[in-house]
Amino acid sequence: MSSTFFTEPPHWRWLIILYFFIGGLAGGCYFLASMIDLVGRPTDRPLARLGYLIAFPAVVVCGILLIADLGRPERFWHMLLQSATWRPMLKTYSPMSFGAWGLLVFSAFAFLSFLGALGEDERRHRFSFLRPPSVIGTIVSALGGLAGFFLASYTGVLLAVTNRPIWSDTTLLGAVFLVSSASTSIALLMLLGSRRVFLVGGLRALARFDTFVLVLELITLVALVVSLGSLARVWLSAWGALLLLGVVGIGIIVPLILEVRAHSPLSASARAAAVLVLVGGFLLRVVIVLSSEAI
């Protein structure tokens, strides 16, 4: 038996699952927005704007969820400052410590880009320099995009750097969460943009991107199960059924079929596919977190 089965669960439940899901959307929507802004067509700018407008409120929600989950919420700042000396508290080898700083840095970029996205509005034009193609906007978007990739994946590494069954028996959770963040964020942008006919070009590009990412997600999930080896038998249970039917079936296979059949990214089937991808992404985090917590 693996030594990980002799440990105790850290009681990370629904608040943390929600954080993993919404944090993935925040990071994912930002890096998608920055990619659209930096390499996309000028006609796609409203899609990027949508991404920035989602990312900052989402990361604020993440902060609230994380603080609420602490045993002593009023001490949340101990993650960033040493309580006795007020010096910075950073352990580069602790994903939670590094992640707390990563979240803070990402929040700063998300806030600047949020202002930049608001600057598209005539009345708040003075903030438009915070978005590409301005030099400052380009730097903010590029660095914020990297921070978004970090936010989308470090939570998987955080789980791997424990001694818990499943989580620490593989090193692929970071990659799985990152790919899932990409697919759910694309789905959210497609869903929110699907009523705007003038975005159809960008939405088509996103739909194509989503197809690739969903296939990639399927590959990473298979690799995850293979990497667990004989320990994957713990998923010969209701959790495994949820993984197979909910995450793979409803969250990947059915959306892929719907996307291939959809004649337009504005169609009802494309919207249904996006909703199912979001449901699958949420269920993925439910299965990963709770199947280990239950042991």
Partner 1 sequence: MPEPMGFYTDTTVCIGCKACEVACKEWNQLPATNGGRSKLSGDSYDNTRRLDGIHWRHVKFIEQFDAERRQGRWLMMSDVCKHCVRAGCLEVCPTGAIIRTEFDTVVIQSDVCNGCRDCIGACPFGVIDINPVSGTAQKCTLCYDRMRAGMTPACAQACPTASINFGPIRELKQKAQARVEQLHGRGERGAYLYGADEKMLGGLNSFYLLVDKPEVYGLPPDPKMPTRNLKRGSLWSALGAVVVGVVGLISLRSRRDVNV
Please, which of residues 30-59 interact with partner 1 by CB under 8 A? Answer: 31-32, 35-36, 39-41, 44
Q: Which one of 5-13, 54-62, 119-127, 236-244 is the stretch in contact with partner 1 (CB under 8 A)?
A: 5-13
Q: Please report whether residue 78 would count as binding partner 1 according to CB under 8 A.
A: yes
Binding residues for partner 1 restricted to 233-292, rule: CB under 8 A: 264
- Which residues does residue 88 pair with via DSSP β-bridges, in sequence order? 81
In the complex, minimum distance from the CB of residue 285 to partner 1, in angstroms, rounded to a whole number: 16
Q: Which is nearer to partner 1, 206 or 283 (CB)?
A: 206
Instruction: Pick one of 70, 222, 245, 257: the residue that binds partner 1 (CB under 8 A).
Output: 70
Binding residues for partner 1 restricted to 88-107, rule: CB under 8 A: 89, 91, 93-97, 100
Q: Please report whether residue 109 would count as binding partner 1 according to CB under 8 A.
A: no
Q: Please report whether residue 8 would count as binding partner 1 according to CB under 8 A.
A: yes
Tell me phi and psi for residue 241, to 5 degrees.
Answer: -65, -40
Number of residues lying near partner 1 (CB under 8 A): 73
Angle at 76 between CA 29 and CA 64, to 5 degrees: 40
In the complex, minimum distance from the CB of residue 124 to partner 1, in angstroms, rounded to a whole number: 27
Q: Which one of 63-71, 228-236, 250-258, 281-289 is the stretch in contact with partner 1 (CB under 8 A)?
A: 63-71
Alpha carbon distances (Å) from 197 to 37, 53, 205, 257: 19, 19, 14, 23
Q: Please report whether residue 76 would count as binding partner 1 according to CB under 8 A.
A: yes
Binding residues for partner 1 restricted to 11-30, rule: CB under 8 A: 11-12
Binding residues for partner 1 restricted to 182-241, rule: CB under 8 A: 182, 200-201, 204-206, 208-209, 212-213, 216, 220
Binding residues for partner 1 restricted to 138-157, rule: CB under 8 A: 149, 153-154, 156-157
Asked if residue 130 lies in contact with residue 136, where contact means CB atoms within 8 angstroms, the answer is yes
